[in-house]
A and B are shown apart, each in its own frame.
Chain A
Amino acid sequence: MSLGVPGQFDRLLSEIRGARAQLPAEHRNLLAQIGTQEGVIEDWPSGVQDLFRSVQEVPPSDAALVNAAAVWLDGLRTVVFNGPLMQAATTGLTDASRKQLVAYIAWHEYGHALSLTRSTHEQRRSGVRLLGLLSDGMRASIDYPGGYGRLQVFDEIIATVYALLISRIRKDGYGVPEFLHLEIVKAFKEVIPWPPSQ
């Protein structure tokens, strides 16, 4: 899916798709089964709101979108990135740093897509409790209390842990770091196949 001015955000979209291609095959297959797509939107937030309308969903308000770097559109099974904001956020980085940081954000969003489509309501109810079991730094990266509701916290935890574990594959393989609380690991493995079978 290519959204916005053709060419303007091609590099960003290519980096996002490159990050997807680095995921374990089992996870890539799951994303494909879900029908997950990704896009970069130039005219944010109106372009996102138009996409919601295209699937007969009430679009979020400008206020709900204006400070977002990315949004998952459930009706389209699509994660869309805020092109202008992502471009501004990565200005001045070396190509290598930019590519790496974009990959981390993309992995978070793909983990989020997997969690949103595979976690149960009961699991989501445990999110706030599990949040208290994260390290301070990981907890600080999740906007609760704040932008997320209680039932959204679980998927944010899974997405954050997902990005963390994917980022460590090259160095640590499919091991799980000891600092992750056992309950977090258990919840993660209930939603995401880990270690992946392929």
Chain B
Amino acid sequence: MAPEPMREPHTAAFPAAKIAPFLRAVVDPEGKGDLTPEQAAAIQQVEANVARSDQRR
């Protein structure tokens, strides 16, 4: 019996570069600065971490 043909994948990937913009969209969706200093610092940290990780890949 012939093997079943391979199906095309349905790839839905969350890009690492969009992590920080997404987090800002959740905590400050209107861009009014409605985030706490802790949230702002955490998102900046994530953004820097992802950028460093990008450079290594």
A interface residues, Cβ below 8 angstroms from B: 52, 56-60, 64-72, 74-75, 82, 85, 88-94, 97, 100-101, 104-105, 108-109, 112, 116, 135-138, 140-143, 146-147, 152, 155, 160, 163-164, 167, 177, 179
Question: A67-B17, A89-B53, A160-B22 known; A59 and B30 CB under 8 Å?
Answer: no
- Is there contact, CB below 8 Å, between B31 and A57? no
The winner among B23, B25, B26, B54 for most chain A CB atoms within 10 A is: B26
Question: A67-B54, A88-B53, A135-B29 known; A101 and B23 CB under 8 Å?
Answer: yes
Q: Does B6 contact A (CB under 8 A)?
A: yes
Q: In the bound complex, how far is the Cα of B6 from the Cα of A56, in angstroms?
A: 5
Instruction: Tell me the dominant secondary structure on chain B's binding face.
Output: helix
- Is there contact, CB below 8 Å, between B22 and A105? yes
Cβ-defined partner of A141 (8 Å) among B4, B6, B24, B46: B24
In the complex, chain A residues whose CB is within 8 Å of the CB of B53:
85, 88-89
Distance in angstroms from A77 CB to nearest chain B CB is 11
Cβ-defined partner of A152 (8 Å) among B12, B22, B29, B52: B12
In the complex, chain A residues whose CB is within 8 Å of the CB of B22:
104-105, 108, 141, 160, 163
In the complex, chain B residues whose CB is within 8 Å of the CB of A167:
26-27
Q: In the bound complex, how far is the Cα of B16 from the Cα of A131, in angstroms?
A: 20
- Is there contact, CB below 8 Å, between B12 and A71? yes
Closest to B28 in A: A137
Cross-chain pairs A/B with CB under 8 angstroms, 18 sampled: A56-B7, A57-B8, A66-B57, A82-B16, A85-B16, A89-B19, A89-B49, A90-B49, A93-B46, A101-B23, A104-B26, A116-B12, A137-B30, A141-B21, A142-B18, A147-B15, A155-B12, A179-B30
